[in-house]
């Protein structure tokens, strides 16, 4: 009985040093556009994420849209990890063209260096449809 208690206590102590366990979060970003006003945007335009979180982009209006991450200044390992995390890529760091209202594009945030990752909508880049994903360490 003493051996069993010692084992349980040792396991509990070991697990207590693991650190806090955080749940995966889902961050929803709506993509909106109004051709008459020439206004296209991501809402929110800035999100803070951690590896393992899900970023869900949802088309609300003004399609077609896309989600493209800017490669400027990205370390090769971060560029590769982010590129691999994008489903149905059209090209390097570029998700598919989203053509329907309500269409969803999701990515699971890979292990990336802490920092700022800029993204934009390619069809509406001239209208400054841009956003920022901040990855916490």
Domains recognised in the chain with CATH numbers: 22-135 (2.60.40.420)
Is the pLDDT reported for residue 4 higher than 70?
Answer: no
Q: At residue 38, does pLDDT exceed 70?
A: yes
Alpha carbon of 25 to those of 11, 51, 66, 118: distances in Å? 28, 10, 22, 20
Average pLDDT, the chain: 88
Residue 6 has pLDDT above 70, yes or no: no
Mean pLDDT of 58-70: 98
CB 40 within 8 A of CB 32: yes
pLDDT in tens, 95-104: 999 999 999 9
Question: What pLDDT shows up at residue 12?
Answer: 47
pTM of the model: 0.82
* Residues 79, 81, 84: CA angle, nearest 5 degrees: 105
């Amino acid at each position: 009985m003493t051996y069993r208690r010692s084992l349980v206590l040792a396991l509990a102590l070991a697990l207590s040093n693991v650190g806090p366990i955080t749940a995966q979060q889902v961050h929803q970003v709506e993509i909106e556009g109004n051709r008459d006003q020439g206004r296209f945007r991501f809402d929110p335009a800035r999100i803070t994420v951690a590896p393992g979180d899900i970023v869900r982009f949802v088309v609300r209006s003004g399609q077609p849209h896309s989600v493209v991450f800017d490669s400027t200044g990205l370390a090769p390992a971060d560029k590769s990890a982010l590129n691999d995390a994008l489903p149905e890529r059209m090209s390097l760091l570029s998700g598919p063209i989203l053509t329907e209202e309500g269409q969803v594009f999701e990515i699971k945030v890979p292990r990336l260096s802490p920092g700022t990752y800029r993204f934009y909508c390619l069809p509406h880049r001239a209208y400054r449809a841009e956003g920022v994903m901040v990855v916490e360490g």
